[in-house]
């Protein structure tokens, strides 16, 4: 674990959660790897590192961490639920071949504060409350490019 355990404990306490070993392991894994992992991937990685967490405990803790705002949850194009510890505004760069996903730091604030004037069908943004913006770049990662040559 590269992130300080005390700092993680403090984050959990600030968000009203007890710093249990399962929460610390899950949060540290997602922060350290900066991966967008599904529950199976999280469980497998924890087990490979010698950390035993039951499936029920994993699901309950992921739900709580999302609920208090320490993790984000979203579905990828394949319909898998992924978890992200990067809470800063960002987009994703996704490999169309292998599905690898990387964070891309862009500023969303300007797009949220000054959205386009109208939709194609003439509907105005003025009646909408914009809560989130999702931009995804798709391409082929360097590893897949090498394999395809």
pLDDT score, position 121: 59
pLDDT at residue 62 greater than cutoff 90: yes
What strand order describes the sheet that includes 91-95? Answer: 101-104, 91-95, 136-139
Q: What is the mean pLDDT of residues 87-116?
A: 76
Domain 91-148: give its CATH architecture.
2-Layer Sandwich (3.30)
Q: What is the mean pLDDT of residues 123-136?
A: 69
Q: pLDDT-based confidence at 31, cuts 50/70/90?
A: very high
What ranges do the domains of the chain cover?
Answer: 5-84, 91-148
pLDDT at residue 114 greater than cutoff 60: no
d(CA 66, CA 62): 6
Q: What is the mean pLDDT of residues 71-83?
A: 89
CB 133 within 8 A of CB 87: no
Between 106 and 26, residue with greater pLDDT: 26
CB 47 within 8 A of CB 39: no
Nearest to 82 by CA among 37, 136, 30: 37
Q: Do domains 5-84 and 91-148 have the same CATH topology?
A: no
CATH class of domain segment(s) 5-84: mainly alpha
């Amino acid at each position: 674990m590269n992130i300080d355990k005390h700092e993680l404990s403090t984050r959990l306490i600030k968000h009203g959660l007890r710093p249990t070993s399962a929460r610390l392991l899950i949060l540290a894994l997602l922060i350290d790897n900066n991966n967008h992992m599904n529950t199976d991937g999280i469980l497998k990685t924890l087990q490979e590192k010698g950390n035993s967490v039951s499936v029920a405990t994993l699901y309950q803790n992921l739900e709580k961490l999302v609920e208090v705002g320490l993790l984000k949850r979203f579905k990828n194009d394949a319909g898998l639920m992924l978890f992200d510890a990067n809470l800063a505004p960002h987009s994703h760069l996704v490999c169309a071949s292998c599905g690898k996903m990387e964070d891309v730091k862009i500023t969303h604030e300007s797009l949220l504060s000054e959205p386009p004037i109208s939709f194609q069908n003439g509907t105005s943004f003025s009646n909408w409350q914009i809560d989130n913006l999702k931009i995804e770049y798709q391409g082929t990662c360097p590893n897949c490019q090498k394999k395809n040559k």
